[in-house]
Every structure is written in structure tokens, then in C-alpha cells.
Amino acid sequence: MKKRVLLQLAVAAMMASPLGTAQAQVTPIKFQLDWRFEGPAALFLTPAAKGYFKDAKLDVTVDAGNGSGGAVTRVASGAYDLGFADLAALMEFHANNPDAPNKPVAIMMVYNDTPASVMALKKSGIKTPADLNGKKLGAPVFDAGRRAFPIFAKANNISGVQWTAMDPPLRETMLARGDVDAITGFTFTSLLNLEARGVNVADVVVLPYPEFGVKLYGNAIIASPKILKDNPAAVKAFLSAFARGMKDVIGNPAAAIADVKARDGIINAELETRRLKLAIETVINSPNARAEGFGQVNGPRLALMASQVSDAFATKTRVNPDAVWNGNYLPATAELNVLPKK
């Protein structure tokens, strides 16, 4: 009897100890990326590898994805707590599924500008958006640039475009061999993929959407309403740890790629370092991001995007900008100060 009492006291003491409490408070979080383990995935893999999520009492699992639409639906289904997705894809889900019980919301802006662009080879004669009139463009049907092309076309008076659909691995190949006049895609993805197919980057014309009148936001961290309601502290801890990792990634992209290679050993480290640097320079540390503040959005700009997406995507209902964004979980201003000055 005495031994049993002593054992019970010992167990109680262990549970009351700091170690026991810490172990009990660790929160598992499943995170869905928008794409494969390429350069930009370091934004999430580095804070995981460096233990920043662990320091925040989080057990974060980061999984590769196959597109922003998939990331949105997987968070909506409850299979994932958080994800990384193009804001336009999130808006489309909201507007096309008004009665869905678990619509994810964006809680931190990461790509302040859409990475989408039109890319063509110089030998095509395409130099400006006006040169796209009547041309044959190619992209997967779910490509963010293709979906938003009506906004780009309206801003630049483009008409008569013919579209060719293909699987993602064939997009750059078809442009390189002349099957299409131009393609849409994320600049830091397609430009380097073209190079990998033997195309000299100097021979590529890039027409970035943000430079030609399209002020769409790009990818944001999204969350399920359930985790926002059930464990807001864990969500805030995740964003703080992520912001901490962002400083490291931006400060040393080459070192961060080692964390990506640890997840996918066949990647080309040099190529993915360039891809990550290109993403940082064009959509993360952009003029708009520095003006608005990393992680945040501008209300009127968000409302304009909601209206443009409603029109371009022909959604069932109009996008409500207030329903897709919630900035209440963002870290303090000092923690969000991750962007180096140009």
C-alpha cells in the first residue's frame, strides 16, 4: 500500500514538473504546402529544421502539395490545420462554396505580389502585352496566371488569345519547342524551368503581372476556422516562429536550401537557391511589401482584388474581402520586421 502511494506521488510530481507540462502542451499542426519541395519551401522547412516551431511548443508536419487549389480544399476538409495558397484560389473557394461549413481564411500575407507572369521567347517577337493579341498561350488549366489572365488582359487591352492546356511538366517544354507563343506561370518557377530545358534566360521575355497593372496579392498562410477557434495561441505561436525563420531564410538563402534538400535529396541546390532568391526579390521583399509591411494587407487593395477575382473567375457569388482575411493572429510589428531595406 505504501509503495503504491509513493508511486502515485512520483507520477503526480513528474506530471507537475516543467518537463511534463511542456510535453503535455505540445500542439501538433499539419501544414500543407502549395507545391513541391523547391526553393520557396525553405520558408517553412527552415523554421522547422532550426527548431523554431519546437521552441514554440508546436509539432509541425510540412507536406508537399500539388497546387494552391489543393491546399485550400485540404485545409477546408480538416485534413490540414494550416496551409500555403494563392489568395485568389482561396477567394474562389469562398465564392463558389458559400455554404461550406469550414472555409479557410488567410492569416498572413507572404507573397505580397502575385508571382504570375507571361513568358515568351524573344524570337517570337513578343515584347509587350500588346504583342499578345491573337497569340497562342499555354498553361495548365489551374495555373494561377492563366486563371487571372482576364485581369491582365483587361488592364492591357489584350484580345483574341487562344489557350492550350497541358500538364505542368510540359508547359516550358512546349514553349521551348515553339508549340505555343507564350506561357503563364510563376516567374521563379517557369523561368528556371526553361533554363533547365536548354533555353538561355537572356532569350526569355518576362511580363510580370504586377508591372503591368495587376495588383493581385500572391500566396498567404491560410488556416482552418477550427484551429483558429480551438487553439488561437498555437496559431499565433506558429506565425511568430515562421517570422523568425523568415529572417534566416532571407539573410542566407543558400543555407536555407540545405533544409529543402534534407526533404528531397534529388533537388539541384544551386538552381533552387536561385529560385528562392528570385522569389524573395520579386514577391516577398517587393516595394508593395515594404510599403504595407510584411505579413499584412491593404484594405482597398484587398477589396479591389476580391472584385477582380469575382469577375475573372466568374464565381457563383461575389467574393467578400472581409470573409477571406483575418489579421488578428499576426505577430507584433517588431517580429514582422523581416524585410531588408533595398
pLDDT at residue number 341: 79
> Domain limits at 195?
116-212
Mark whether 109 and 120 lie in a shared domain: no
Q: Report yes or no on 6 lying in a domain.
A: no
Mark whether 171 and 299 lie in a shared domain: no
Mark whether 150 and 291 lie in a shared domain: no
Domain end marker among 212, 243, 270: 212
pLDDT at residue number 17: 46
Q: How far apart are CA 244 and CA 190, in angstroms?
A: 29
Q: How far apart are CA 5 and CA 302, in angstroms?
A: 62
Mark whether 144 and 106 lie in a shared domain: no
Nearest one of 117, 281, 123, 268 to 196, comparing CA atoms: 268
Cβ pair 76, 222 in contact under 8 A = no
pLDDT at residue number 24: 57
What does the buried/exposed string (b/e) look like for 129-152 if buried means 16 or more CB atoms within 10 Å of the residue's CB? bebbeebebbbbeebbbbbbbbbb
Mark whether 149 and 283 lie in a shared domain: no
Mark whether 238 and 93 lie in a shared domain: yes
Residues 6+ apart with CB under 8 A from 268: none
Cβ pair 195, 201 in contact under 8 A = yes
Mark whether 54 and 153 lie in a shared domain: no
Length of the chain: 342
DSSP state of 61: E
Q: Report yes or no on 330 lying in a domain.
A: no
Domain end marker among 212, 231, 260: 212
Mark whether 73 and 132 lie in a shared domain: no
Mark whether 71 and 190 lie in a shared domain: no
Per-residue pLDDT of the chain in tens (342 residues, 90 and over written 9): 555 544 454 445 445 444 444 455 899 999 999 999 999 999 999 999 999 999 999 999 999 999 999 999 999 999 999 999 999 999 999 999 999 999 999 999 999 999 999 999 999 999 999 999 999 999 999 899 999 999 999 999 999 999 999 999 999 999 999 999 999 999 999 999 999 999 999 999 999 999 999 999 999 999 999 999 999 999 999 999 999 999 999 999 999 999 999 999 999 999 999 999 999 999 999 999 999 999 999 999 999 999 999 999 999 999 999 999 999 999 999 999 999 976
Q: Number of structural domains, the chain?
A: 2
CB-neighbour burial class of residue 42 (10 A; exposed 0-12, middle 13-18, buried 19+): buried
Interstrand relation of 58-63 and 27-32 (parallel, antiparallel or unpaired):
parallel
Mark whether 120 and 200 lie in a shared domain: yes
Question: Could you tell me the sign of the dihedral formed by the alpha carbons of 180, 181, 184, 190, in that order?
Answer: positive
Domain end marker among 190, 212, 234: 212
- Give the CA count within 13 Å in the CB-facing half-sphere of 271: 16
Q: Report yes or no on 21 lying in a domain.
A: no
Mark whether 222 and 311 lie in a shared domain: yes
Q: Report yes or no on 14 lying in a domain.
A: no
* pTM metric for this prediction: 0.91
Question: pLDDT digits over 261-303, tens only?
Answer: 999 999 999 999 999 999 999 999 999 999 999 999 999 999 9
Mark whether 109 and 225 lie in a shared domain: yes
CB-neighbour burial class of residue 265 (10 A; exposed 0-12, middle 13-18, buried 19+): exposed
Q: What is the CATH number of the domain that holds 127?
A: 3.40.190.10
Q: Report yes or no on 245 lying in a domain.
A: yes
